[in-house]
Amino acid sequence: MASTQEKATHKNNTPSPSSSSSAQVLQNWSLAAPSEDPIPKAASMAALIRPAETIADPPATKTTTSKGISIMPRAQTSHPLDPLSAAEISVAVATVRAAGATPEVRDSMRFIEVVLVEPDKHVVALADAYFFPPFQPSLLPRTKGGPVIPSKLPPRKARLVVYNKRSNETSIWIVELSEVHAATRGGHHRGKVISSKVVPNVQPPMDAMEYAECEAVVKDFPPFREAMKKRGIEDMDLVMVDPWCAGYHSSADAPSRRLAKPLIFCRTESDCPMENGYARPVEGIHVLVDMQNMVVIEFEDRKLVPLPPADPLRNYTAGETRGGVDRSDVKPLQIIQTEGPSFRINGNFIAWQKWNFRIGFTPREGLVIYSVAYIDGSRGRRPVAHRLSFVEMVVPYGDPNDPHYRKNAFDAGEDGLGKNAHSLKKGCDCLGYIKYFDAHFTNFTGGVETIENCVCLHEEDHGILWKHQDWRTGLAEVRRSRRLTVSFICTVANYEYGFFWHFYQDGKIEAEVKLTGILSLGALQPGETRKYGTTIAPGLYAPVHQHFFVARMDMAVDCKPGEAFNQVVEVNLKVEEPGKDNVHNNAFYAEEELLRSELQAMRDCNPLTARHWIVRNTRNVNRTGQLTGFKLVPGSNCLPLAGSEAKFLRRAAFLKHNLWVTPYAHDEMYPGGEFPNQNPRVGEGLATWVKQNRSLEEADVVLWYVFGVIHIPRLEDWPVMPVDRIGFMLMPHGFFNCSPAVDVPPSTTDLELKDNDIATKPIQNVIIAKL
């Protein structure tokens, strides 16, 4: 991923040559060759490294643009957690392709995914401590004589998932990117293959190029054209073919073949690209496509169901809706922040209020938040989490009829949330003073594609943070809340999903998913109704279904890299038994239970007891002597509405509980395993890992929070469904006992930030942490 800073040239973004700040000395040092001695003999470590608790740059390192905007110094090279650049992706692909044994092997290589190999946590700590501003040496433990600092960081590495279209094999490659700069001097690969292995009996995620080719193949299949002709459709330009993955229901779906089972829809006008074709599902046609050879291997016209009549509201283009009138009584709403935003950025490093973190992006997960920390006065930088992301998403449908019973999409593992993200538009997707970030991916054939404005960063006014009125004096005090939001939106067939991470001034982090887009529908015979859905228009019904999301949270509450001092406690409210301790029968209290092992930590939400979980540091206490921590506060939630033998639970056993906890392991990333597509293995992934029943009493813990929504479609959901919101919060618990913020001015103007390394407005709305 690249920020928009790479698209423009900026001036005055480096310190002047006369600057002698410690940070500048350290910058030069980090670039020195091993044989050089860049440290002045008289210089001490204290003089070279500024205090860790200071987020703002030292005065000598700040520079000013012509607009008076202070900016952070530019990092010299890619941070170890920065997403792969377009050049790095090109080098990785070229390196793997060149390593193919024969021309046939090289020509048949298809590139599913190229991602950064995330380094060990100690490498990240070293980079943040000494190589990249704002320089945080407190991340590393103190040693006698001072730390020994290497002159450079380890080379970055790429991990490639490659599908061989000729042999139907999937392989994983690791490439060292030691000379990526050579790619800009003629395109020659300069990577080094570290390892490669074939992964047997799997199918990797599907790709957009495959989907487009599958649609063309189905439309050209003569029996299909004949079946559509029976339904009154001869213009194939009207037909929409959505190639859904086959899932796994029996041995016929085994990964020995790469399969898709498309769903068919049909528009009414070929000259209306924004018409809602999902309003006319084509029922009764069974198609099975061999995606390796791109041929239809099964076809059956099982039942002739008339196409639903054209809906007068089918066109959802603004100003062109048939049969309705666009609203004209909404006045303009302007969001203004004339002095710019309060956040500051340096590449992918974000600092806002007392928060700082890094932004990443992967083809599978989409947005990733790294190295989340809170700057807490004299206690300096206090880590909260090493890595936050959404790692899987499952959408099971509740209609047992064909084809809906097979609709159990793994939208992350089978398709990729990141690869299905799209460019955001200011004034629509995001409002306010916006900083966009681009994302780079490989396409199926190995070319590099860029999604511009893929991630949105902006501030939002969030109502009242705190208010109190003294009834004796009549005086009132009120503080408005502001939050920093990082988000992206992806489209998977008919649905849109917006993923949001909100950072608040009171030390809270909120994760939110917004579901919007268009329903996946079925057609009905005249007079027919369905028990397992809602009739929403003549001849048209929407099946009931669920959406589940899995947030993976690699926590590090008050832990420096290398420390494993966290544990998880479950809290339930209990009513005191009647007796001498409860003579008025009104007593209740919070009861805590330490989750000591993985099997004990398989937990479900319980709103009747206000159940929540606290990640505690076992070594640090707050000002009242309690262990510091962050609590996970569930929002609305549910469990799968399916029998224990449901086929989709074979691949999605992780949906059986709302919370799982594991000790950190670098290869335990995806709860359904890396390759859920056509996966025949029962319980692979999270449900298998926890059988080790590893200790959690003091560990480097990872939380897996599963949360979902039950969608019972309503008539008003049509044609474009309203937003459903689900989420959870990470809230301070004995960690940040925050006093109210000072008054906050109204938020943001509708502008895109194109400046490099932005630090526009001094942070004024400060929260004081009291421990």
Q: Which residues are catalytic?
A: 411, 495
Cβ-in-10-Å burial (0-12, 13-18, 19+) of 549 comes to: buried
Q: How far is CA 568 from the centre of its chain?
A: 24
Distance separating alpha carbons of residues 257 and 236, to the nearest angstrom: 28
Identify how many contiguous H helices and E strands the chain contains and give both numbers: 9, 36
Strand ranges in 178-258 using DSSP code E only, listed in sequence order:
192-199, 239-245
Distance separating alpha carbons of residues 288 and 300, to the nearest angstrom: 9
Question: Are residues 247 and 406 in contact, defined by beta-carbon separation less than 8 angstroms?
Answer: yes
DSSP state of 249: S
Best CA proximity match to 442, nearest among 159, 749, 225:
159
Distance separating alpha carbons of residues 99 and 420, to the nearest angstrom: 29
Distance separating alpha carbons of residues 71 and 754, to the nearest angstrom: 13
Give CA angle at 758 (757, 761), nearest 5°: 155
Length of the chain: 771
Best CA proximity match to 700, nearest among 501, 604, 557, 599:
557
Distance separating alpha carbons of residues 176 and 171, to the nearest angstrom: 17
Distance separating alpha carbons of residues 746 and 763, to the nearest angstrom: 14
Distance separating alpha carbons of residues 482 and 485, to the nearest angstrom: 10
Best CA proximity match to 271, nearest among 235, 305, 245:
235
Q: What tokens were used for 34?
A: 């091993």
DSSP notation for 269-286: -TT-TTB-GGGSB--SEE
DSSP notation for 428-439: TTB-SEEEEEEE
Torsion of CA 140, 143, 145, 151, to 10 degrees: -40
- Residues β-bridged to residue 552: 389, 704
Residue listed under structure tokens 């008025």: 584
Distance separating alpha carbons of residues 71 and 82, to the nearest angstrom: 20
Sign of the alpha-carbon dihedral angle for 347, 352, 357, 360: negative
Residues 6 or more apart whose Cβ sits within 8 Å of residue 31: 76
DSSP notation for 84-110: PPHHHHHHHHHHHHHT-SSHHHHHTEE
Cβ-in-10-Å burial (0-12, 13-18, 19+) of 169 comes to: middle
- Residues β-bridged to residue 359: 369
Distance separating alpha carbons of residues 390 and 704, to the nearest angstrom: 9
Give CA angle at 528 (527, 532), nearest 5°: 150
Q: What tokens were used for 221?
A: 């299949």
Helices (H), 220-313: 222-230
- Residues β-bridged to residue 192: 176
Best CA proximity match to 279, nearest among 304, 243, 246, 316:
316
Helices (H), 179-242: 208-219, 222-230
Strand ranges in 325-380 using DSSP code E only, listed in sequence order:
344-346, 349-352, 355-362, 366-375
Sign of the alpha-carbon dihedral angle for 250, 109, 409, 197: positive
